[in-house]
Amino acid sequence: MNGASQSAETAQAARRIMARADALGAISETPGALTRTHLTEEHRRAAKLVAGWMHEAGLAVWTDAAGNVCGRIEGAGPELPALLLGSHIDTVPDAGRYDGPLGVLLAIEVAARAAPGVLPFALEVVAFGDEEGTRFGTALSGSRALAGSWDDAWWDCTDASGISLRTAFERFGLDPRRLPDAAREPKDLVAYLEAHIEQGPFLEQAGQPLAVVSSIAGARRFALTVTGRAGHAGGTPYELRRDALVGASELVVEIERIGQELDVIATVGRMHAYPGGVNVIPGRVELSLDLRAEFDADRDDAWGRIQEAADQITALRDLEWSAQETYRADAVQCADWLQQAVEEGIRAACGDDPLTLWSRAGHDAMAVAGVAEVGMLFVRCGNQGVSHSPDETVSTGDVALALDAFTAAVRAVAERYAARS
Query: Of the candidates 130, 55, 18, 128, which has an alpha carbon nearest to the alpha carbon of residue 402?
Result: 18
- How many residues touch Mn ion (CB under 5 A)? 2
Residue placing its CB nearer to Mn ion in the complex, 100 or 129: 100
Q: Which of 81, 100, 200, 354 binds Mn ion (CB under 5 A)?
A: 100
Smallest distance from the beta carbon of 185 to Mn ion, in angstroms? 26
Smallest distance from the beta carbon of 232 to ligand HGY, in angstroms? 40
Residue placing its CB nearer to ligand HGY in the complex, 200 or 283: 200
Stretch 87-126: interaction string toward ligand HGY, x if CB under 6 A: ----------------------------------------
Which residue type sits at 219? A
Should residue 365 be labelled a site residue for ligand HGY when binding is judged by CB under 6 A?
A: no
Which residue type sits at 167? T
Q: Which of 362, 366, 375, 379 binds ligand HGY (CB under 6 A)?
A: 362
Q: How far apart are CA 56 and CA 6, in angstroms?
A: 20
Q: How far apart are CA 69 and CA 50, in angstroms?
A: 8
Query: What 3-state DSSP class applies to 226?
Result: strand
Cα dist from 404 to 4, 223, 378, whole Å = 5, 42, 13
Should residue 282 be labelled a site residue for Mn ion when binding is judged by CB under 5 A?
A: no
- Give the pairing type, strands 210-216 and 284-293: unpaired
Helices (H), 284-363: 296-316, 336-350
Q: How far apart are CA 27 and CA 100, in angstroms?
A: 14
Residue placing its CB nearer to ligand HGY in the complex, 50 or 361: 361
- How many residues touch ligand HGY (CB under 6 A)? 4
Residue 344 contacts which entry, Mn ion, ligand HGY, none (Cβ below 5-8 A, type-dependent): none
Q: Which of 361, 368, 371, 377 binds ligand HGY (CB under 6 A)?
A: 361
- Evaluate whether 94 touches 389 at the Cβ level (below 8 Å): yes
Q: Which of 42, 90, 130, 132 binds ligand HGY (CB under 6 A)?
A: 132
Should residue 224 be labelled a site residue for ligand HGY when binding is judged by CB under 6 A?
A: no
Query: What 3-state DSSP class applies to 348?
Result: helix
Residue placing its CB nearer to Mn ion in the complex, 244 or 329: 329
Preceding amide of 237 cis, omega within 30: no
Should residue 194 be labelled a site residue for ligand HGY when binding is judged by CB under 6 A?
A: no
Smallest distance from the beta carbon of 100 to ligand HGY, in angstroms? 8
Q: Which of 42, 124, 130, 131 binds ligand HGY (CB under 6 A)?
A: 131
Residue placing its CB nearer to ligand HGY in the complex, 67 or 362: 362
- Evaluate whether 360 touches 163 at the Cβ level (below 8 Å): no
Element (H, E) at 404: helix 396-420
- Evaluate whether 201 touches 385 at the Cβ level (below 8 Å): yes
Smallest distance from the beta carbon of 91 to ligand HGY, in angstroms? 9
- Evaluate whether 106 touches 114 at the Cβ level (below 8 Å): no
| DSSP symbol at 353 | P
Residue placing its CB nearer to Mn ion in the complex, 64 or 99: 99
Should residue 99 be labelled a site residue for Mn ion when binding is judged by CB under 5 A?
A: yes
Positions touching Mn ion (CB under 5 A) are 99-100
Positions touching ligand HGY (CB under 6 A) are 131-132, 361-362
